[in-house]
Structure 1
Amino acid sequence: MNNITYRFELASRPNRDGLHVIYLRITANRKHKRIKTPVAVKTADFNPFPKIVPNRTPQWIKGVGPAVTQQNELLYGVWNNAVKQHAELVKAGGTETAETLVNHIKQPPSTITVGVFADQFLELVQRHSIGYEKQVKSKVKAFVAWIGREAPLKNISLDLLQRYELYLNQQGVSKTNQHYHFSRIKRMTNEAIRLELLEKDPFLHFEMPPDKPQPRLKLTDAQIQAIENLDLGKGRKRTDAKGRKYELGEWVPVARSLYLFSFYNGGIRASDIIQLRYCNIVDGRCEYQMNKTSKLMSSKLSAKSKEILKQFHRSGAPAYGFLFALLSDEAPYAKQVTYDEKKRMPRAIQVQLDNDVSSILVMINRALKDIAKLAGIEERLTFHTARHSFADKARRKMKESKNVSIDDIRNALGHTRLDTTQRYLNSFDREGLDSAMDAIFDD
């Protein structure tokens, strides 16, 4: 059986992640069979004929880093396992066919570690939005830190998941947040199962923590009015927890204006407001694509919204210029206006834009704490409560007027599904239940 040859080759078609699975092709007497390996890569990262150096693992996968090293070691293990079992077959008097050899070979147990596979998995997640990547990365890295990077991937089991749930409970993590933790971990284990690195699904009999909707803070009309009426003129002081007085920062009036602009325009999300351009204001309307879903939005500007825009107007600003001038018109992402244009930007530029937006939001939410204190609002005020407050006001108006429907509210919020809007509004409807209970008992 000296005419047996081995060679790695890529699957002709990519998988759903755009990667090609690597197969070990075994040829005997001009006939061949293929063994699937647990490694999948981009075409450009595959080297079918690596340089052979004594005492070194051949580099079938190009690049550097622990994930690449582990992938090459996995391939080398498959190769050596085939050669070893070929020798055993010869010793046992086996026939000289590739089919016999492939049927005889058993895949070696995977030795890939949790840390290395997590790195490989997070590379796949980069094909999604930056926001989703951050969510997945934070949850997966927390899990890897708990189990240990060097733990074998096969150690992920039902018992381990239950112990991790107990750990999260001890850390005071809410059930909803636990649900997000495990949903991200499950995404990773599903990928491992697909690559045949895990034999059993550890989540098969695991009871996921419930994804219960959290209470949504919304402001009353009186609280919105109190924010509008605040005197934020120069020289206004704030007092910290120790009684020390400071000048209000420049972000305070900016945060108030953006918060109210969101409230008066359907609860526009912070990332969308920060990225609004002059070209998004058309014939008295605000027209833009939501960064979260790419959905086209269009709302009529109210008189109060127009007054806010006047405060930030810059003569001579380009059409792609940022409306509130919180991002630079000179930034490498500035001229990419539409959802598709942003998606086509190099990954590094997408990350820069996301980081810049996140930094601005931190400053806005910090300023909103001062605004809440000045307005006598005891609840924790964040930018997203403007969206909640709009939705609640719309819900109350819907009960008072036939001119407002739940579908109108759905469109204003940019929800694709009506049941999403219904769940959103139900979380605010305590007043309606209170009125019903009073009527039942004639209180």
Structure 2
Amino acid sequence: MASIKAILRKTNQPRKDGKWPLAIRVTKDRKSKFIWLKQYVNEKDWDSRNGTVKRSHPNSARLNHLIAKRIAELNNLVLEIEDKEESTSIIDIRNALTKKKRKNVTFFELAQERLDDYKKRKVFTVHDTDEGRIKTFKKFLGGKDIHFHEITIPLLKKFRTYLIATNGNSERTIANYYILIRTLFNQAIKEGIVERKYYPFGGDGISIKLGESAKIGLNEEELKILENMKYDPSSAKWHTLNVWLTSFYFAGIRISDVVKLKWSDIPDGRLYYRMDKNQKRVSLKIPEKAQRIFDLYLPEKRSEDDFIFPDLKKANLSDKEDVYTKVKTASRRFNRYLKKIAKDAEITKNLSNHISRHSFGNISGDKIPIPMLQKLYRHSDIKTTIGYQNNFLYQDADDALDAVIGF
């Protein structure tokens, strides 16, 4: 039979206020497991013989009630385990305690664990994206927490309506919210937090459909207009347009990769860099148009480790979060100025960082073989390239339409 006792757990040193943590010690075969009560008391207020808080403590009655309640719960759990098994160990008890503890984990508690894990692994982009979606879901719930079994089909349908009516989100964006909730639900089932019978997805439940998002790129005439725009070299618009055109000239590489380019990445007339998203190595010839932009930023004195563009010059390169934050800030600033540049150029399409890639796809059309586009886009699977490029192939459909109505 395991022994259970409340103790004042004296470790290396007390807290700054001199208090020690309260814990319940479960011992079996001379091995112990400690359950922390998240309460702290001074040694003078603790009755070690009886395992209770002395009356000298202002909240002794409340704390002793908490201790008694937890000991009773643990006694019942240990008896339940020992009734089921002929022999038990502290490991069996620990596993049962862990499972019981996880039973009480709420949706937002598990979501926070996921966010904390991303931050520890320095996956900041996914962290920020998921954090934004989780905050939106919590706002929809009025700021309240929720248990997994309370996430029902009707609730998710109401959430969809909320996203459309309040945020104006597309079906693709709604699907991304559903995918995050589904991922957390699957994790909760795996960890024994919720039973599978409450799963609201698949079958007769919520079906997640990834609708195609519209990919609209600039055409050749619009690109020529941008190339001929004249701005003061000290202006934010001038710099923003240079960065955007650099992205386009290299088949739409991500803006986050453009601002990280260093002079050491462009030796011998070629660009060598590692993609931030998937860590793939890339080597491309430097087009003359891109080289002219690089020359605009060439200082009198430089180190090969210097960034070509100035956006990360003040970043702490040993701090990945600081680098990520400054890249994100620069990207937001570029998007803001691209809207102003589009207005100056009288371009009605949504000019943004990512449209440089769509513009390259739109202009390339069917001029470049798919295997070569796969290489330029840095896609792992040629099917991805085919699917992406299909967004910009119109000629066959246009000819077929004219063949019918062109009378």
Normalised by the length of structure 2, the TM-score is: 0.75
Corresponding residue for residue 212 of structure 1? 211
Between 1:76-85 and 1:380-389, the stretch displaced more is 76-85
3-state SS, counterpart of residue 284 of structure 2: strand
Match of 2:310, SS state, is: coil
Cα 1:80/1:193, change in 2 over 3 Å: farther
Instruction: Look up the match of 1:203.
Output: 201
Secondary structure at 1:286's aligned position in 2? strand
User: Structure 1, residues 142-175: CA drift from partner, whole Å, max 9, x if none?
Assistant: 1123234333343223332233223223333210
Distance 1:350 1:317 in 2: 24
- Residues 274, 281 of structure 2: 8 Å contact kept: yes
SS at match of 1:299: strand
Q: Pairwise mapping of residues 241-280 of structure 1 onto structure 2 (< 5 A)?
A: 250-280=235-265
- Contact 1:284/1:300 (<8 A) preserved: yes
1:326 paired to 2:311:
yes
Task: Give 1:251 deviation, angstroms.
Answer: 0.9
**Structure 1 residues 174 and 130: alpha-carbon distance in aligned structure 2, compared to 1, 3 A threshold:** same
Letter in 2 for 1:132: V
Deviation string 1:169-199 (CA, Å, 9 cap, x unpaired) is 3333210000111111112222222221111
- CA–CA distance in structure 2, aligned partners of residues 176 and 417 of structure 1: 22
CA shift for structure 1 position 222: 0.8
Match of 1:173 among 169, 173, 177: 169
Q: CA, structure 1 residues 419+79, in 2 after alignment: closer, same or farther (shift >3 Å)? A: farther
Kindly report which structure 2 residues correspond to 1:227-238, keeping only aligned pairs within 5 A, or say none: 227-233=226-232
2:129 aligns with one of 135, 141, 148: 135
| AA aligned opposite 2:374 | R
Give the secondary-structure state (helix, strand or coil) at the position aligned to 1:421: helix
Q: What CA distance in whole angstroms lies between the structure 2 residues aligned with 1:138 and 1:207?
A: 22
Q: Secondary structure at the match of 1:427?
A: helix
Q: 1:48 to 1:209 in 2, by over 3 A?
A: closer
List per-residue Cα deviations over 1:340-373 (Å, max 9, x = no partner). xxxxx5xxx2221111111112222222222212
* C-alpha contact 1:327 1:356 (8 A) present in aligned 2: yes
Aligned AA for 1:369? K
Kept in 2, the 8 Å contact 1:113–1:149? The answer is no
Q: Would the aligned equivalents of 1:276 and 1:322 in 2 still touch at CA under 8 Å?
A: yes
Shift of 1:433: 1.4
Q: How many residues align?
A: 355
Which moves more between the two structures, 80-89 or 286-295? 80-89
Report the Cα distance in structure 2 between the residues aligned to 1:152 and 1:360, rounded to whole angstroms: 38
Structure 1, gaps ≥5 residues long: 8-23, 35-45, 57-75, 235-248, 334-344, 399-404
Q: Residues of 1 paired with 2:377 and 2:39: CA distance?
A: 60
| CA–CA distance in structure 1, aligned partners of residues 382 and 131 of structure 2 | 30
The aligned amino acid for 1:318 is S
Q: Indicate how the Cα distance of structure 1 residues 150 and 396 shifts in structure 2: closer, same or farther if over 3 A, else same.
A: closer
Give me the whole-angstrom Cα distance separating, in 2, the residues matched to 1:294 and 1:352.
19
Between structures 1 and 2, the one with greater helix share? 2
Q: 2: CA distance between counterparts of 1:77 and 1:123?
A: 31
CA distance in 2, matches of 1:414, 1:223: 25
| Alignment-derived partner of residue 57 in structure 2 | none
Report the AA paired with residue 289 of structure 1.
R
2:9 is aligned to: none
* CA root-mean-square deviation: 3.8
C-alpha separation in 2, matches of 1:95 and 1:419: 54
User: TM-score, length-normalised on structure 1?
Assistant: 0.70
Cα distance 1:178–1:124, how it changes in 2: closer, same or farther (>3 A)?
same
Aligned positions of 1:418-437 closer than 5 A: 418-437=382-401
Q: Secondary structure of 1:298's match?
A: strand
Change in Cα spacing, 1:53 to 1:262, as seen in structure 2 (3 Å) is closer
Q: Which residue of 2 aligns with 1:313?
A: 298
8 A Cα contact 1:286 1:299, kept in partner: yes
The Cα shift of 1:80 comes to 4.9
Separation in 1, partners of 2:377, 2:81:
67
Q: Which deviations, in whole Å up to 9, do the C-alpha atoms of 1:256-301 show, x marking residues without a partner?
A: 2122222221111110101101111021011101111111111111
Q: 1:289 to 1:79 in 2, by over 3 A?
A: farther
Show the counterpart of 1:39.
none
Aligned position for 1:370: 340
Q: Which amino acid aligns with 2:315?
A: A
Amino acid at match of 1:122: L
CA pair 82-395 structure 1, distance change in 2 beyond 3 A? same
Q: Quick one: distance in 2 between partners of 1:298 and 1:100? A: 59
Q: Which residue is equivalent to 1:185?
A: 181
Q: CA deviation at 1:6?
A: 9.4
CA distance in 2, matches of 1:369, 1:96: 68
Query: What CA distance in whole angstroms lies between the structure 2 residues aligned with 1:358 and 1:100?
Result: 51
Pairs within 5 Å for 1:280-299: 280-299=265-284
Partner AA of 2:177 in structure 1: H
Q: 1:232 to 1:313 in 2, by over 3 A?
A: same
- Stretch moving more, 213-222 or 284-293: 213-222
Corresponding residue for 1:401? none
Deviations 1:22-68 (A, max 9, x none): xx99876x599x9xxxxxxxxxxx97899996799xxxxxxxxxxxx
Percent of residue pairs identical: 24
Matched, 1:397 2:367: yes
Cα deviation per residue 1:123-147 (whole Å; 9 max; x = unaligned)? 1233362111111111122112323
Are the structure 2 counterparts of residues 314 and 116 from structure 1 closer, same or farther at C-alpha, using a change threshold of 3 Å? same
**Contact 2:244–2:356 (CA<8 Å) still a contact in 1?**
yes
The secondary structure found in structure 2 opposite 1:210 is: coil
